[in-house]
Amino acid sequence: MSEAIAMTEHQPTHEVKGRMGMWWFLASEIMTFGGFIAIYVLYRMASGGAWSSMAEHVSTLMGTINTVVLLTSSLTIVKAYEAIDKQDRKSAQRFLLITLILAFAFLGVKAIEYATEISNGYTPLTGIFWSFYFVMTGLHGLHVVGGIVAIGALYIMAIRGTLWNGTQKRVEYIGLYWHFVDIVWIFLFPLLYLSY
Amino acid sequence: MSDTGHAHPNYVAIWGWLLLLLFISLGAVYLPFSQGVTVTFIFIVAAVKACIVATYFMHLKFEESLVRYIAIIPVILFVIMTLTLIPDIGTR
């Protein structure tokens, strides 16, 4: 607790509140995704070979591409944060744009995957694996959409020049959120694409 | 030095490690081990990746202990929740 008090002495209160608020939100998000993951693992353990026969129809290649895309977007948003920290506005703007493009790329790959799967007859009603697959990737996809809105807003602020008047810490907060979206995918990838 | 009060690690090198771990977990699928061993290994690698992202990209390494508690407690709760549900499988 004394450290928390010491922290407020060194940093403006709104910065402490912003970061704490984001971490608190992410803590609740861990339980949201954790609930799905726990139930998925239990169903997977309780069912036998039928699960594997359903799970082997997902595209590991597409999943791998999207993992690389998200990991890279985590790098670019943290580079944007680093650039802001070093007062390098141009680099910050560029890294925000690259992150935005990568986020759209992720959704694009996911859309191709969904279209292929549905056209092959795999829908949320096909079986328990597919129900989990569409709900978990769908919820994660909604988080990606949320990230796009937030990062897009930061990028617009950056090109308008309004990001630099004390509001640049938002890049750090949105960055935390975006890294969390990446971490969720780090677990969804082996759960859905590798454990057949 | 920056106004965050902490140094920035080499983020590109960290990204390289994350990609390496991704390809290690992909390669593990093709190794001649039982499914149980492979899945356990893949999830250990995933946990390591998540820890790297949280530690360096999310700067938990440089955070105050209060923030670390906020991050770690729900992870512990998640593990407890999963473990307490597992006996349910045996009663089916």
* B31-77 residue pLDDT tens: 888 888 998 999 999 999 999 999 999 999 888 888 999 999 999 99
Closest by Cβ to B54, choosing from A35, A68, A183: A183
Q: What is the pLDDT of residues A63-73, one digit of tens each?
A: 999 999 999 99
Q: Which of B2, B22, B43 sits opposite A85 (nearest CB)?
A: B2
Burial class (CB in 10 A: 0-12, 13-18, 19+), A88: middle
Q: Tell me what ipTM this predicted complex has.
A: 0.91
The pLDDT mean for chain A works out to 90
**pLDDT-derived band of residue B1, with 50, 70 and 90 as boundaries?**
very low
Sign of the C-alpha dihedral computed for residues A5, A10, A14 and A15 taken in this order: negative
For residue B47 the two structure tokens come to 């946990």
Asked if B89's CB is within 8 angstroms of A45's CB, the reply is yes
Residue A8 reports pLDDT greater than 50: no
**pLDDT grade, residue A13 (50/70/90)?**
low
Domain residue limits, chain B? 11-90
Cα angle A173-A176-A178, degrees, rounded to a multiple of 5: 110
Give residue for tokens 């339980």: A31
Decide if A6 is inside a domain.
no
pLDDT bin (cut points 50, 70, 90) of residue A18 is confident
- Inside any domain, residue A12: no
Dihedral sign of CA atoms A27, A29, A35, A41 in order: negative
Q: What's A134's domain CATH number?
A: 1.20.120.80
Per the CB < 8 A criterion, the answer to whether A178 and A148 are in contact is: no
Task: Find the CB nearest B8 among A38, A82, A175.
Answer: A82
Residues of A in contact with B50 (CB under 8 A): 183, 186-187
Task: Specify the pLDDT at position A127.
Answer: 86
CA distance B11 to chain A (A): 7
CB contact under 8 A, B4 and A85: yes
Determine, for residues B22 and A67 on separate chains, whether the beta-carbon distance falls below 8 Å: yes
Contact A173, A18 (CB under 8 A): yes
Cβ(A173)–Cβ(A104) below 8 Å: no
- Nearest by Cα to B6 from A182, A173, A10: A10
Structural domains counted in chain A: 1
Task: Choose the mutation target among A28, A194, A196 for the interface with B, i.e. most B CBs under 10 Å.
Answer: A194
With beta carbons under 8 A apart, name residues in chain B contacting A28.
74
Report yes or no on A166 lying in a domain. Answer: yes
Q: Which domain holds residue A77?
A: 30-194
User: Does A160 reside within a domain?
Assistant: yes
In a domain, A25, yes or no: no
* SS3 state at A59: coil
pLDDT at A165 over 90: no
Q: What is the pTM of this model?
A: 0.91
